[in-house]
C-alpha cells in the first residue's frame, strides 16, 4: 500500500500533474526502490492501515508505529458517475526532485533533477465485472505534527472529491525537465 500527498501543478508544456513531496509505502523494497532511486519519489517506509467498518473506510499513516501522522475517513458508497469519470484519468503525471549525491569528497557528480513520470493504472473489476471505483464523502485529519515527517504542513481546504479505487499500476519515466549540477569548488581540489 502507498499513501502520498500531491500538489496539483502545471509543467512548462502545459500538462497538469502532481508534485509529490511525501510518499510512504508499507514494507516492500521493490516499491520503495523503483520509485525512490529511479524516479526520485521521496518514498519512506511506514505503517499504513485500512480498516473497513460498515460502509466506512478508515486509513491511517504511522511513522514510526504508534506515531499517527494522519487519518483519512471515507464513505465510498456510490460508483463514480460518468460525469465524474470524465475527469478521472487512468494515466496521471507526477513530478519529483531526484538528488544524486556526489561520488567523491570534492562534490563531483552531485546532481539535482526535476523528473516527470507517470502511472498507468488498470482498475480491477469486481465479481460483477464492474470497475472498483467508488466515490463519497471524505475527511482528512492530521493527528500529530512531526518535524521528521511534516505532512501536516500541507493544509487541506475543502475536500472536493474522495475516491476508493483498486488498481494495478505501472510506473513510467517520461523526462528530466531540469537538471543542475553542483560546480566543484576549486578550493577543495587543492
Q: Which class is 2-189 in CATH?
A: mainly beta
- The per-residue pLDDT for 185 is 56
Average pLDDT over residues 7-27: 92
List the Cα angle 4/88/97 in 5-degree steps.
Answer: 35
Q: Which three cell numbers stand for residue 55?
A: 460502509
Exposed (0-12), middle (13-18) or buried (19+): which is 22, by Cβ within 10 Å?
buried
The full set of domain ranges for the chain reads 2-189
Report d(CA 134, CA 159) in Å as an integer.
15
Pairing of strands 56-62, 47-53: antiparallel
- The per-residue pLDDT for 62 is 98
List, for residues 115-140, the tens digit of each pLDDT value: 999 999 999 999 999 999 999 999 99
The DSSP code for 131 is B
- The per-residue pLDDT for 186 is 47
List, for residues 140-186, the tens digit of each pLDDT value: 999 999 999 999 998 887 777 788 888 898 889 999 999 999 776 54
Report d(CA 141, CA 39) in Å as an integer.
29
Q: Torsion angle of alpha carbons 30, 122, 60, 117, nearest 10°?
A: 60
- The per-residue pLDDT for 141 is 93
Average pLDDT over residues 12-21: 93
Report d(CA 169, CA 138) in Å as an integer.
23
Task: Please answer whether residues 95 and 116 qualify as being in contact, where contact means their C-beta atoms are separated by less than 8 angstroms.
Answer: yes
- The per-residue pLDDT for 105 is 81
State what percent of residues in the chain have pLDDT above 70. 94
- The per-residue pLDDT for 190 is 42
- The per-residue pLDDT for 182 is 77
The DSSP code for 30 is H
Q: Which three cell numbers stand for residue 175?
A: 523526462
Report d(CA 96, CA 115) in Å as an integer.
5
List the Cα angle 63/91/82 in 5-degree steps.
Answer: 105
User: Of 133, 128, 138, which Cα lies nearest the Cα of 165?
Assistant: 133
List, for residues 48-98, the tens digit of each pLDDT value: 999 999 999 999 999 999 999 999 999 999 998 777 776 677 889 999 999
Q: Which of residues 11 and 35 earns the better pLDDT score? A: 11
- The per-residue pLDDT for 86 is 65
Amino acid at each position: 500500500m502507498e499513501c502520498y500527498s500531491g500538489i496539483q501543478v502545471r509543467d512548462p508544456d502545459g500538462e497538469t500533474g502532481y508534485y509529490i513531496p511525501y510518499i510512504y509505502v508499507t514494507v516492500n523494497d521493490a516499491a520503495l526502490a523503483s520509485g525512490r532511486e529511479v524516479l526520485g519519489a521521496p518514498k519512506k517506509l511506514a505503517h499504513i492501515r485500512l480498516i473497513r467498518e460498515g460502509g466506512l473506510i478508515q486509513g491511517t499513516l504511522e511513522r514510526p508505529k504508534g506515531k499517527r501522522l494522519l487519518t483519512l475517513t471515507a464513505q465510498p458508497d456510490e460508483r463514480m458517475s460518468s460525469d465524474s469519470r470524465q475527469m478521472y484519468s487512468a494515466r496521471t503525471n507526477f513530478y519529483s526532485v531526484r538528488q544524486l549525491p556526489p561520488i567523491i569528497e570534492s562534490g563531483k557528480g552531485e546532481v539535482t533533477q526535476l523528473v516527470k513520470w507517470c502511472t498507468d493504472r488498470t482498475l480491477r473489476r469486481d465479481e460483477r465485472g464492474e470497475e472498483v471505483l467508488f466515490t463519497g464523502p471524505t475527511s482528512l485529519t492530521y493527528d500529530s505534527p512531526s518535524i521528521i515527517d511534516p505532512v501536516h504542513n500541507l493544509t487541506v481546504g475543502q475536500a472536493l472529491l474522495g475516491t476508493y479505487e483498486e488498481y494495478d499500476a505501472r510506473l513510467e519515466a517520461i523526462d528530466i525537465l531540469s537538471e543542475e549540477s553542483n560546480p566543484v569548488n576549486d578550493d577543495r581540489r587543492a
